[in-house]
Chains A and B, each alone.
Chain A
Amino acid sequence: MNTRRFVILFALAAGAILLSSPVLAHHSTAEYDMTTVTPIKGTVAKFEWSNPHAYIYIEAKDDKGNAVEWTAELASLGMLARVNWKRDTVKPGDVITIYGNRAKDGRTVMRLDKIAFANGQELSAHVG
């Protein structure tokens, strides 16, 4: 394999890794519509307990019954712990409703406001 071909393959591989990475980054609330709160009911696929934001991934259905994955972004772990969140507050398989501010660009991503468990009990994600 010559050097040039190796460089191209390396660049393609690096690009593939970057593109397959989740769109997780540290950012402001500017990307969310802070004026409305949307409820989404679904099944927890994963709860990622990480900084600078924790994430809940939900498998839900759209209006037509098609499967759609939602991502709810939470605050940082220190602040969540101060309002009684733990790494096992939600678990894969839990049926919950997430309430939050949707992304302005239409992606199925929200900034989490609160969750409601199957028994109706609610837990706020407000940390301020």
Chain B
Amino acid sequence: MVRNRIRVSMVIGAVFLFVLPAIFAQTGNPYKATGVHDLAGVWIIDHFQPALFPKGTTPPFTPWGEAQFKKANTLVNDPNLACLPHGIPRLMFVPLPMEIFQVPDKVLIYVEAGNQLRQIHVNRGHRNDLDPTYNGDSVGKWEGETLVVDTIGFNDVTWLDHVGLPHSEGLHVVERIHRADHDTLVDDFTIEDTKAYTKPWTASQTYHLKPGWEIAEYVCDNNKYVYHEK
């Protein structure tokens, strides 16, 4: 009797060990609609989007937003000139790799640019009375295999893209991050800031998996010239 139970257990174990992985392998994309929470890996953007509104398209600026945008000069007042943090969403559009880690209560995004570490808290809602910061307060929840990230609590120092789309401290960014397939990650953004824009707008960035890549050290050592001679 006991021996039979052991045999049954072994058969069930074998099913889990060998049969289920084989089924997943045959479906091609185990990340699609299975609720698998797996974004881990080193990723890099598939194409560079310096401007989230390319020539010929117009952002839904408020008068304030348009006035701010006209002041933007990539050679003079880009906040990133002195390697200040990019802020969200711009950090997610930088043409350098990022590594995603999933740890208890957090999804961490380690971006090579400036070796910035972005924290997405998946165990709590937004804190009250947030002090404005470059990357804001990001909280996430899983909807199936998609990580939905809600970020508020920004300062108004950063640009939304690389050419100067402005924002206020009222910026609200929602991201839907998911694996389209094993080697492809997609981040769909909804950006809302009633001071700068008359309505919410969307953007999207696709990333390729880079197996074997490691995030390199990235310190803006050119800044040493501010204090040290060349």
Binding site for B on A (CB under 8 A): 17-18, 21-22, 24-31, 50-53, 76-79, 81-82, 128
**Which residue, of A29, A77, A78, has the highest number of chain B Cβ atoms within 10 A?**
A78
- Does A77 contact B225, Cβ atoms closer than 8 Å? no
- Pair A50/B75 contact, Cβ less than 8 Å: no
Q: Is the CB of B78 within 8 A of A77?
A: no
Given A22-B230, A78-B218, does the pair A128, B74 have CB atoms closer than 8 Å?
no
Q: Which residue of B lies closest to A104 (CB)?
A: B75
A81–B225 Cα distance when bound, in Å, is 24
A76 to chain B, nearest CB (A): 6
A113 to B22, CA, bound (A): 46
- Within 8 Å CB of A51, what residues of B? 218-222
Report the minimal beta-carbon distance from B229 to chain A, rounded to whole angstroms.
8
Judge whether B216 is part of the interface by a CB distance below 8 angstroms.
Answer: yes
Q: Report if A26-B216 is in contact (Cβ < 8 Å); known contacts: A31-B74, A50-B221, A76-B96.
A: no
Rounded to whole Å, the gap between the CB of B150 and the closest CB of chain A is 29
Q: Is B83 an interface residue (CB 8 A)?
A: yes
Is the interface on chain B under 10, 10 to 19, 20 to 34, or 35 or more residues?
20 to 34
Inter-chain pairs besides A51-B222, A52-B113, A52-B222, 10 sampled, C-beta below 8 Å? A24-B222, A24-B225, A27-B74, A28-B163, A30-B75, A52-B218, A77-B216, A77-B218, A78-B96, A78-B97
| Chain B residues within an 8 Å CB radius of A31 | 74-75
11 contacts between A and B (CB under 8 A): A25-B81, A26-B83, A27-B75, A27-B80, A29-B50, A30-B50, A30-B75, A51-B220, A51-B222, A76-B96, A78-B96
Task: Answer yes or no: B117 CB below 8 A from chain A CBs.
Answer: no
- In the complex, B215 has a CB within 8 A of chain A: yes
- The secondary-structure label for the interface of chain A is loop
| B95 pairs with A128, CB closer than 8 A | yes
Q: Which chain A residue has the least Cβ–Cβ distance from B81? A: A25
Chain B interface (Cβ within 8 Å of chain A)? 48, 50, 74-75, 78, 80-83, 95-97, 112-113, 162-163, 213, 215-222, 225-226, 229-230
Bound state CA distance, A51 and B163, in angstroms? 21
Compute how far the CA of A77 lies from the CA of B96 in the bound complex, rounded to whole angstroms. 11
Cβ of B81 and Cβ of A26 under 8 Å apart?
Answer: yes
